[in-house]
Amino acid sequence: MRRIFTIASREYRAMVGTKAFLFTIAVMPVLMAGGSFVPIVLKKLENNDPKQLVIHDQSGEVIPALLELAKQRNEQLSEEQDGAEAAFGDSSPYEIIAWDGDEWNDEAMFELSERARKDEIHGFVQIPADITTPGSTSSVTFYSEKAALSRMRRWLDGSLSRTVRAMKLEKSDVDPAVVGLALAAVDVNSKGLINKSSDGAIKEAEESEGMSSVFLPMGMMMLMFLIIFLAAQPMLEAVMEEKSDRIAEVLLGSVSAKQLLTGKLLGNVLGSLTVFVFYALGGYTLAAINGWTDYVPFSMVPAFVVYQILGVLFFSSIFMAIGSAVKQLKEAQSLLLPVWMLMFLPMFVWFNVIQEPNSIVPVALSFFPPSAPLMMILRLSTGAVIPMWQVLASIVVMLIGTAAIVLAASRIFQVGILWQGKTPKITEVLKWLFRNPMVGS
Amino acid sequence: MNAVELAGVTKRFGNQTAVNNLDLAVPEGSIYGFIGPNGSGKTTTIRMILRIFHPDDGVVSVLGKSSGAAADTRLGYLPEERGLYKRMTVMDVCRYYARLKNHYDCDPDIYDWLDRLDAREWAKKRIDALSKGMAQKVQFITSVVARPKLLILDEPFSGLDPVNLEVLRDAVLEMRNRGTTVIFSTHDMSVAERLCDTIFMIFKGNKVLDGTVESIKENYSDNQVALKLGDQAVLPAYDMVSGSREQDDHLLVNLHQGNSPQQFLQKLLEDGQQIHRFEIARPSLHDIFVSIARPHEHMEESESEQSAQGASA
C-alpha cells in the first residue's frame, strides 16, 4: 500500500508541480472565455469617426425631430462608451445634415452617391412629402454602400417610425401618449419556483436571470470538461514516456501492473481535485469581488466532486490504455478522437438542455458514462428539479461504467506498456482484454 | 545455493517461441553473463526473472520464490540506456526507485553512491540535463541504491568512455563482493570475458552455452587454428573452414564442428600448401559467439532471399 502512495505522490507532483501545468490552469479559462471578449476587442479597433447622413426631407416636418434624436443618441453614447452595450452597437456619433441643393433629381442623387463612395458621408435619405399625412403608405429610401447592413439605417428606421407615428396621430387629433401607453408591451417577469425556508416560511421566488440560467450551467459544464482534460491528457503522455524510455520495466520489476495503475490513477485524481480547489477558490473570489456570491452553487459541490472523480478515473484510464498501446502521439490522437467526441456530446446540445433539462436527450445522456459527468452537472446547475432517482441512478451507472473501464484499461495497460515492436492492431489490443500474453497460459 | 533457477522454462508469444525449455542456475554471489544476439530471448528471460512475464511452462525460482509470486523488492534492474524520468532530478528519481523497493530512508545511500561515482554535484540536476555517461551512472545508482540481493544489468557499459567504464566495472565487482548476485546481459564479449564468472548464451530461445569462461573456451579450443599460408587465397576452397579473420600477420581460422585441426593440417599437407604457421588457437568468447551465431545468420539470409524470390515470383 505504501508503494502505491509512493507512485501516487510522484504522479501528483509530476502533474501539478510543473510550470507548464500552472500556466495551463491559468490560461485555459482565459482561452475558453476569450471568445466573449473578442467582439469587444475588435470593437475597440473599429473606426469610430462621426457618420454623416444627408437627408432630403420633402415634407420639411421630420428633420428637426431627427436632428434632436441624433443629438440625444450622441450624448447617450459618450456615457456608455465603455459598456458592453456599446461593444455590440455602433459607437460612432451620427450627424444629420439637411440637403440644401437646388433641385432633387437623379444628378443630385448621383453626386451624393459619389460623396458616399469617397467616404465623405455615410449615405443619404429621401423622405417623401406625404410621409406624415394620416393614411399615407409612402416609404423612406436609404442610400448607402452597405445599406442593408448599416447600423445607421437600423437607428433611422426606429427613430423615423416613432417620429412619423407621433406626427400622424397628432394630425388625427389623437394623443400619442395615450396610444403609446395602450400599445405598450406587457412585461413577463421570469422567476424561479417558490421555496420554503428552514423554518417553514414561504420564500419569495427569486428573479431568474441570465447569469444563473445560462452562464452558470455553461460555466460548470466547462469547468468539468477542463478538469477532466487537464487530468487525462498528462496521463497519456506519462504512460507513453514510461513505455518508450523503458521506465515501465523498472517499475514493474518493483510493483505489479495493478499497483502501478492504482497509484497512477490515485495521483491523477488528487491532482484533479487540486485543480478543482484552485478554480473553486478562484471562482468564489471573483464572485465575491463582483457581488455574485448568491449565484455560487455550494449545494452542487458534493455532486460535482463525485462526478469529477468518476469522470477523471473513466477518461484517465482510457488515456492510459491508449498511451500504453501506441508508440507515437500521432497514433494516439486518432484513437482519442472518438473518446473526445463521446465526452463532447453534452456540449453539442447544452443550449437545448438548459431550456429543457428533463427532456429525453439530457436524461438519456445522464446514464451514458462518457457523457454523464458533463451532462449531469449541466442539468443540476440549471436549477431545475432533477429527480433524485436520476442522480443516484446516474452515479451508479457511472460507477459501474468506470469500474469496467478501469478493469479493461488495466488489462490493456499490462500488456501494452511492455509491448515493443510495431504498434498492435485494434483487434489485437481488444484480445488483450481476454488474454494476457505476458502472464502465460 | 542458487539465486536464480530456471527449470524447463518455455515462453511463447502467439506462435513464436521466445524461450524454449530453458534450464539455468545462477549461483549466489556470482557474476553471470547473459550473451546472445538481438532477439535471441535474453530480454524475455530477464523479464521472467523480474516477474514481469510469467512462463508458459516450467518454473522460475528467484531468491527462493517460485513463478507466480509478485515482483520482488530484493531485485535491482537496470534496463539498456533508458529507464529514467527525464524531467525528474537525480535525487528525486533515485529516491523514487529506492522507495518502490521499500527502502525509505535512502538519502545516505544515494549520497554515498553519488560520491563514489563522482556525481554528487549533479544531485539536483534534471535527468535531461545529463550526459549519456552521467545518466548511465545515475541509472546504475537507481538499480543498486536499495541494496538488492540480485542485480540485473542490461548493457550497463554501453556508450561509456573507458574511464567511466572502469568506474562502473569496479562498482559491479563491489556489489558482488558485498554478496549481491549479478546477472548482466551484454553484446560486448571482452567485458563479459573479463568480468563474468559464468557465461550463459541463448540463441533462438535455446541455451547454447552455459559454464565458466575457462570451460567454454576449453570446449571450443578444437575448432580454431592460427594459420599462415604461402597463399592465403586458397582458404575458401576448404569445406571444413567455417570462417576466418585476420589477426596480426596470420589468420584465425574456424573449423566446422566435426573437423579436427589434425584433419585440416593433413589436408593442407596433402594439397602441398606452403605452411608458415599452424597452431591450435584458444578462441576468445567473441570467436565462440560468432561461430555459433554466424552459420545461422547465413542460413537465415539464404532462406529470406529464397522466400523473397518466391514472393516476387
Q: How confident is the model at residue B303, as a pLDDT?
A: 42
Name which of B70, B79, B99 is nearest A250 (Cβ-Cβ): B79
Structure confidence by residue, pLDDT tens digits, B24-76 = 888 888 889 888 877 788 888 888 888 888 888 888 888 887 765 566 778 88
Locate the chain B residue with the closest alpha carbon to A419: B13
**What one-letter code names the amino acid at A228?**
I
Q: How confident is the model at residue A182, as a pLDDT?
A: 83
Shortest alpha-carbon distance between residue A373 and chain B (Å):
32
Q: Is B269 on the interface with A (CB under 8 A)?
A: no
Q: How confident is the model at residue A88, as a pLDDT?
A: 53
Contacts of A413 in chain B (CB under 8 A): none
Task: Report how far apart, in Å, the C-alpha atoms of A66 and of each of A57, A148, A414, A439 are.
Answer: 10, 20, 78, 87
Contacts of B55 in chain A (CB under 8 A): 440
Q: Which residues of chain B have pLDDT under 70?
A: 67-71, 81, 221-222, 294-313
Tell me the whole-structure pTM to 2 decimals.
0.69
3-state DSSP call for residue B56? coil
Q: H or E segment at A258?
A: helix A257-290
Query: Are A245 and B84 in contact (CB < 8 Å)?
Result: yes
Q: Residue A129 corresponds to which cell in the numbers above?
A: 412629402
Q: Minimal CA–CA distance to A56: which of A94, A104, A110?
A: A104
Q: Residue A314 corresponds to which cell in the numbers above?
A: 473513466
Helix, strand, coil tally for chain A in percent (to 5): 65, 5, 30
**B187 secondary structure, DSSP code:** S
pLDDT tens for each residue of chain A, 441 residues long: 788 899 999 889 888 877 777 887 777 666 666 555 666 666 666 677 888 999 999 888 889 999 999 898 888 877 765 544 454 567 788 899 998 888 888 888 999 999 989 888 989 999 998 988 888 888 899 998 877 778 888 888 988 988 898 888 888 888 888 888 888 778 777 666 676 766 777 766 665 565 667 778 888 888 899 889 888 888 888 888 888 888 888 888 888 888 888 899 999 999 999 988 888 888 788 777 777 777 777 788 888 999 999 999 999 999 988 888 888 778 888 888 888 888 888 888 888 888 788 888 888 888 998 889 999 998 888 877 888 898 899 999 999 999 999 888 888 888 888 777 677 777 777 888 777 766 654
Q: Residue A67 corresponds to which cell in the numbers above?
A: 436632428
Shortest alpha-carbon distance between residue A10 and chain B (Å):
8
What is the complex's ipTM, to 2 decimals?
A: 0.73
Helix, strand, coil tally for chain B in percent (to 5): 40, 30, 30
Name which of B11, B53, B70 is nearest A256 (Cβ-Cβ): B70
Q: How confident is the model at residue B91, as a pLDDT?
A: 92
- Buried-state track A325-348, b at ≥16 Cβ within 10 A, e below 16: bbbeeeebeebbeebeeebebbbe
Say if CB B181 and CB B34 are below 8 A apart: no
Which residues are within 8 A (CB) of A66 and not within 5 positions of it... i.e. 6 or more apart? A55, A57, A96, A156, A159, A160, A163
DSSP-H helix ranges across chain B:
42-49, 90-100, 107-116, 132-144, 162-177, 189-195, 213-220, 261-270, 285-312
Q: How confident is the model at residue B63, as a pLDDT?
A: 84
Q: How confident is the model at residue A393, as a pLDDT?
A: 92
3-state DSSP of A368-434: CCCCHHHHHHHHHCCCCCCCHHHHHHHHHHHHHHHHHHHHHHHHHHHHHCCCCCCCCCHHHHHHHCC
Structure confidence by residue, pLDDT tens digits, B83-101 = 888 888 999 999 999 998 8
Interface probe, candidates B47, B67, B99, B141, chain A, greatest A C-beta count within 10 A = B99
Q: Number of A:B CB contacts under 8 A? A: 79
Task: Report how far apart, in Å, the C-alpha atoms of B163 and of each of A168, A297, B137, B156 are.
Answer: 105, 66, 12, 14
Q: Is A17 on the interface with B (CB under 8 A)?
A: no
Name which of A247, A439, A440 is nearest B85 (Cβ-Cβ): A247
Residue A355 to residue A260: CA distance in whole angstroms: 44
Q: Minimal CA–CA distance to B11: which of A440, A418, A252?
A: A440
Phi, psi angle pair for B60, to nearest 5°: -110, 120
Name which of B53, B79, B100 is nearest A246 (Cβ-Cβ): B79
